Structure 1
Amino acid sequence: MLWEAMIGGIMRAMSDTKPDSHPDSRLTVQFLEVPGELEGQRIDNFLMARLKGVPKSRVYRILRKGEVRVNKKRVKAEYRLVAGDVVRVPPIRMSEQAPAPVAGESLRREIENAILFDRDGLLIVNKPAGVAVHGGSGIKLGLIEILRQMYPQSPFLELVHRLDRDTSGAIMVARKRSVLLHVQKTLRSGGIDKHYQALTVGKWPRGRREVDAPLHKFTLKSGERMVRVDAQGKPSLTTFRVAERFKGATLVDATPVTGRTHQIRVHAQFVGCPLAGDPKYTSDEDNAQFRALGLKRLFLHSARVGCTLPDGERVSVEAPLPEDLAGVLERLRNQ
């Protein structure tokens, strides 16, 4: 009996399956080996990409409690993986996992038709306005999740930079870890070309070619995140060039030298020319006159992105102005 008890105890200690009364439970430990393409990725992002539908709070909780192990050791959320690492993922109840949202055929086709460049580990997509770059905060499906469904054979797909949900245009996505690290390093050193087309309210000041003003992020009582010019904020620089003047509006080419949240929008507001259609930083009265011209969203478009690939090749891709924005310009010209 003593021998049987010892064997039973050893088997229970070795088992990675826990009893559970929930009929949908599938409580088994996974051991995942990290491929070379994912070297350098944070463990929290690695887990969230594999535990589809599990709340972020749950992912961070199992990390904090030490239920996730890398090479049998506890790690923090910011740990960066190394090729060959073995990640122990603890049992997760199926009841904790909401079914992963699936992009509809029309949305997938729209994104597929919006791909401007796909070569050497780099994707450049002409993101439609209204599509978030990633899920979260009530958004179930973003651009990166759609692309991962479209490229199931790609072990690595990550955003190089971001665009606001209401901003359309060119955005870069890396299909290789080496490309992501290289392009992001180039981005930090100012070697990435990012050019935007924006329609501002009123006459852009003549001779005003740049805005150098620190930006500070803050949260309203409602929970809405905002940005303002503040001496305590981060250094921020945007260059502007007038492309076309209209009655009561100006089309500008904007280049963010730094990459702060809402940078172009707040810098334009700072000089008294907020962007047309901006629900956060432009008055309802100003937006109303542009709604009368058919503008139904923020007039901000990522018109061109350019970077150097790891092999030294220079890539520059343009995204045409969407028909809804082009129509507003045409109506302004005809006034």
Structure 2
Amino acid sequence: MKKTNGIWIDLFVFADPEKTEKATPRRRKKAREEGNVSQSPDLNMAISLLSVSSVVYFTFAGLYHSFTKIFLVITTGFNGAAAMSIPQAMHYLAFAFSAALTWLLAVMFVGLLGAALPSMLQTRFLFSLKALIPDLNKINPIEGFKKMFSLRTVFEFIKSLIKMIIIAYIGYTSIVQIWPNLFSMSQSSLEASSIALGNFIYRLLMEIGLALLAIGILDIYYQRWEYERSLRMTKKEVKDEAKDTEGNPLIKNKQRQKMMLLARSRMMQNIQNAQVVVTNPTHVAVAIEYKEDMNAPKVVAKGAGEVAERIKSMARKYGIPILRNPPLARDLFKSVEIGEEIPSRLYRLVAELLVTVYKMKNNKV
């Protein structure tokens, strides 16, 4: 049972037991490009509600007094000695309508900003058109059935139930508190009653907003956990992705072998430009090229074992002298790459080698 505990836990939380690996950077990048990111809609809604409630509370009183003055002017104008004309009344009504519309648009803008800004901060200002493309999986009945029994569905149901209970409790306690004052409000002036009712609604919305804010903050941590969980991969998916990004190991090995064969072929062709081949004598062979216009001699070919034998065979083919010098051959083989000039510490030894080669050529002449 100990070995299967993890599987039982995954089944309990409705997870795929095979998806045990963390998401790779490529998987995360692809999910982000598709608009799949972690965020809490509850936090966005809470901040939007708090923003709208605050704006309404601090601006509605001024709007109310402006409307009162406008309608007072209109009613006084119609009832007074100097009767107000219809165009004048329409002018005041148009001004009142314009002020109300401006205020309403301002409140809506604050609400949208209060919802959009937290969302942008949570998604790090992500804008993806792929999220708007219709997905057939969303209307797939099988996929829909699976989502009905997912952990997210259960969590969202419990969260919605908690929100309903909290909102109902806040509404009930608020009404209980204001209930004794309702009858006294009916005896007060319209302005006093409106202010009292506005304060009540403001406190109610702020308490609901703060409760939703607390739920939203907790929801952030769940959404991040659920997001990481949804991106988890199977070991096969990780291996397949590695093959896609880095290439199939078998294919890479074959490509590496081809490159080595090409490099070795070029190296063998360069042996004909060498002046001497220095050997170990049997295990290592290094071909050295030197011309008058060169700054220093350089290694054009080197190899050990079978490659060394091929270098010596090519040297015999082109009539290049093969000289034994085990210490020099080993040093050149270990410290100098093909195409590189020999280090200054070996100048004297290589020079002596080349002098020997030149003497051998002069003697033949």
Q: Is this a same-fold pair by TM over 0.5?
A: no
Q: Which has the higher helix share?
A: 2
Q: Which has the higher strand share?
A: 1
Larger CA Rg, structure 1 vs 2: 2
Q: Which has the higher contact order (CA 8 A, sep 6+)?
A: 2
**TM-score normalised by the chain length of structure 1:** 0.16
**TM-score normalised by the chain length of structure 2:** 0.15
